[in-house]
Amino acid sequence: MIASPKTAMAAVVAATSVGAFAPQSFVSRRPGRTSTSELYSSTVDPAVITKKEYQDICGVDFDDRTLAERLAKTAYLYPKHVEVIDDFAPMVDKMVDEILLETGDKAWQPQDYLPDLSEEDWLEQTKDLREAAAGVPDDLFVVLVGDMVTEEALPTYQTLLNTFEGCDDPTGTTDSAWARWSRGWTSEENRHGDLLNKYLYLSGKTDMRAIEVTIQHLITSGFNPGARKDPYRGFLYTSFQERATKVSHGNVGKLAKTHGAADLQRICAKIAGDEGRHEKAYQAFSTEILKRDPDGLLMEFGDMMRGQIVMPAELMTDGKDPHLYENFSAVAQRLGVYTAIDYAEIIQHLVDHWKIGELTGLSSEAEKEQEYICRLPTRYRKLAERSMNKKKDEEVVQNEFSWIFNRKA
């Protein structure tokens, strides 16, 4: 006999009181784990309420698959954008397997580039690192620290990825292509901060506590690049930012080599290589969006560029210098590590890579954005050259940095 709605609801309430929705009810269907059917049978008496009635009342049976399906039916702010990125999810799966993840023995780890303290000659290895680091000037160390602090704010960036509609990881172990990408990208990026942090510690040239305070402040402050939960804007941002990070790490490494720190050059080159692989992936995602919705991507691209690209460490502070990011950026600009010219060249690269100027069949609004975007690199280059020429005539102002024991750079 089918239970009445009133009886059914009472059964669910009773089941809840004895743990129907205990943590184990969220166990996903994997070999050796309890299935949803078993959980249902253990928490609800089938003689009182059927499984279908139970699911109809609750709306979901709490396994990973049905939870994902339920979330997919939730109202999105950008339903068309979610539909588009879902359409090329199989390509993302391929990206995870072929471009992103290097696991096990194939994956490099920070220890591969640092002295091994378990070896008998650990002291000699450490002395060699410190001797090479001693020849690197303070201003380059300031930029290296700034880059490391940026990398160490990784929890903020994974949080950002999980705000992109349709690309999130709702359960933490979701097996969708996008969730796998997010976790895999994070696992690779995690190595960067670890490696640079340990190198700086072993070098003996930096105030690690001041650096750690800066990292904590930056993660606490958060980061808003203006993605607005939109996957289009998110991938436009990451396409730009991964390339910018690659440029910065690569240039620090080149300068370190000129000062005799070949080990630091290898470290920076390895990190820059990761950023380059990730850059290609995010740019490929945006290419797929352009194939399906060129109008939509151009509208977002133009809007983002009008506000300029927000750097991920703009809110950094050591609790002492309220202009820490500006001062760090000034040193980076003066050394040629990352400049306004680089900003213009990255925009040019994206315009060329995505063949923005060759797109056809656009709406009138998208055509206006196309024209605006294609003019941007030249415009920014002229502004950058004018600004840099002006600064050549200005006296260099040095600032104290707590990161290097309040020495000036």
The DSSP annotation for 275-332 comes to: HHHHHHHHHHHHHHHHHH-HHHHHHHHHHHHHH-PPPTTTT---SS-TTHHHHHHHHH
Catalytic site includes residue 108: yes
Length of the chain (residues):
409
Residue among 139, 181, 230, 278 flagged as catalytic: 278
Catalytic-labelled residue, pool 275, 295, 321, 342: 275
Phi, psi of 393 (to 5 degrees): -90, -5
Residue pair 396/334 in contact by the 8 Å Cβ criterion = yes
Q: Check if 119 is active-site.
A: no
Catalytic residue among 147, 189, 318, 342: 189
- CB under 8 Å to 352, separation ≥6 — which residues? none
DSSP secondary structure string for all residues of 164-196: STTS--TTSS--SHHHHHHHHHHHHHHHHHHHH
Catalytic residue check, 64: no
Between CA 151 and CA 190 the distance in angstroms is 8
274 catalytically annotated: yes
Catalytic-role residue among 242, 321, 342, 369: 242
Query: Could you give the 3-state DSSP secondary structure of residue 240?
Result: helix
Paired tokens of 258: 């000129």
Catalytic member of 274, 288, 318, 369: 274
Residue environment code for 233-244, b if the CB has 16+ CB neighbours within 10 A, otherwise e = bbbbbbbbbbbb
CA-to-CA distance for 328 and 142, rounded, in angstroms? Answer: 7
Q: ∠ CA(372), CA(373), CA(379), 5° rounding?
A: 80
Residues β-bridged to residue 400: 408
263 is catalytic: no
Which member of 87, 108, 171, 287 is catalytic? 108
189 is catalytic: yes
Active site residue 275: yes
State how far the alpha carbon of 47 is from the alpha carbons of 9, 32, 54, 57, 237, in Å: 14, 27, 12, 16, 55
Catalytically annotated residue among 245, 293, 321, 342: 245
Q: Give the active site residue among 150, 192, 263, 354.
A: 192
CB 257 within 8 A of CB 267: no
Choice among 139, 147, 151, 165 that is catalytic: 151
Count of CB atoms situated within 10 Å of the CB of 380 = 20
Query: Which residues have a catalytic role annotated?
Result: 108, 151, 189, 192, 242, 245, 274-275, 278
